[in-house]
Homo-oligomer: A and B are copies of this chain.
Amino acid sequence: MKIAMLGSGFIGRFYADALLGQRSKDQITSIYSRREESARKFAEDYAVPHFTTDMLAAIQHPEVEVVCISLPNNLHEAAVLACCAAKKAVICTKPLGRNATEAKRMLEAVEQAGIFHGYLEDLVYTPKFNKALLSVQNGALGRILWAKSRETHPGPHSEWFWDKEQAGGGCMLDLGCHCVEIARSFIGKDIRPVEVMCWADTQVKPIDAEDHAIALVKYENGAIGQFEVSWTFRGGMDLRDEVMGTEGTIWINNFLRTGFEMFTTGKGADYVAEKAESNSGWLFPVGDEINDLGYNHMFTDMFHSIESQQPPRESFYDGYVVNAILDAAYKSAATKQWEPVQLDIWRGQTGVTSGKALTDYDAQYYLIKEEITHFGARKLILKDKQTGQIIEKTIN
């Protein structure tokens, strides 16, 4: 594919590293940045033939087949509308909008224009997540009860993240959008998120937006999504997912404990591991950040989908649902109550129940629990179906 990259900042460079890092057949044809110096530098670093400070020039560049939006949150919508006008396929970084209203307008615009739209939620494309999701979908964990994602680190790299107007929020919008889509994917993207309870506070930083937040998202089938996000964590980037079902559990650690551990006195060299807060002592680098964060698999899905004229795994519709959940979280943090998720557009199942089924032990009893005791006997906890009485029964 021939790509126009909008934005030359941290995430734009990460995307470019992913797009060009291995033996790729894709190429960046045009780079747009607000500052000419940045555009020129990016073009040099990644051998991009065309650079510009005119966003439309990049989008409308005749060779460009797909536009990749890597701009601050407040600039997504204008860029999307320009892609609609130019009838170019568009893929947009996360979060899609600063809120569901913005996201919904973008979704409706791309659908009306009939263009391809992809939502660049990389963390549901990490190799570990991909394999975990397959296990979940194959039933290895049984019925999913709870899924949590945690993303905490010492704060983002660019100034605009810290400005509530440009960013649209604080760590909850920046990091929570990842977590929400991870939990939603494990629970089932066709299961409706119903309501949200959220705590958020500005515990440390001199900013208007929240720097720490925790929320629960209840789904129609009774499953619970949870996120923990912060810009005040010390120790690097903590990126962990957990999912728990009736038949099992999965724990994923994407960053700080991945089987790569280094101790250095720091005497020998100035080497600094990425996002580590120190260059001595015990450090925990990640092997291949690009691949481990899902960028490779995400772009593969996007471009294969464009070529095969299929919808990608993550579209603007998903971005819209995520924004709607986060809107409810912000509202809940203010009202201190569970707040309903407002979804004007819902394309999944409706009226789903929990699927909870009581397990019969025999005609008289339900089985509560079975275990092997220290002495090797089978011990059962049973409940009488009529009386509700709970008894123990040991079978040697």
A interface residues, Cβ below 8 angstroms from B? 22-26, 126-128, 130-132, 134-135, 138-142, 145-146, 152, 154-155, 157-160, 162-163, 197, 199, 201, 203-208, 212, 214, 216, 218, 222, 224, 226, 230, 232-236, 238, 244-254, 257-272, 274, 277-288, 291-292, 296-297, 299-300, 303, 336-338, 354, 356, 358-359, 366, 368-369, 371-372, 374, 376, 379, 381, 383, 388, 390-392
Contact = CB atoms under 8 A, between A and B. Distances in A.
B206 A358 contact: yes
A264 to B, nearest CB: 4
Contact of A381 (B140, B162, B218): B162
Contact of A244 (B158, B230, B282, B291): B230
A273 B393 CA distance: 22
Contacts of A282: 235, 281-284
B260 A248 contact: no
A38 to B, nearest CB: 13
11 contacts: A130-B287, A131-B286, A138-B268, A138-B271, A146-B212, A230-B244, A234-B265, A235-B282, A248-B262, A250-B262, A259-B259
Contact of A234 (B160, B234, B247, B253): B247
Contacts of A130: 287-288
Contacts of A244: 152, 230, 232-234
A226 to B, nearest CB: 7
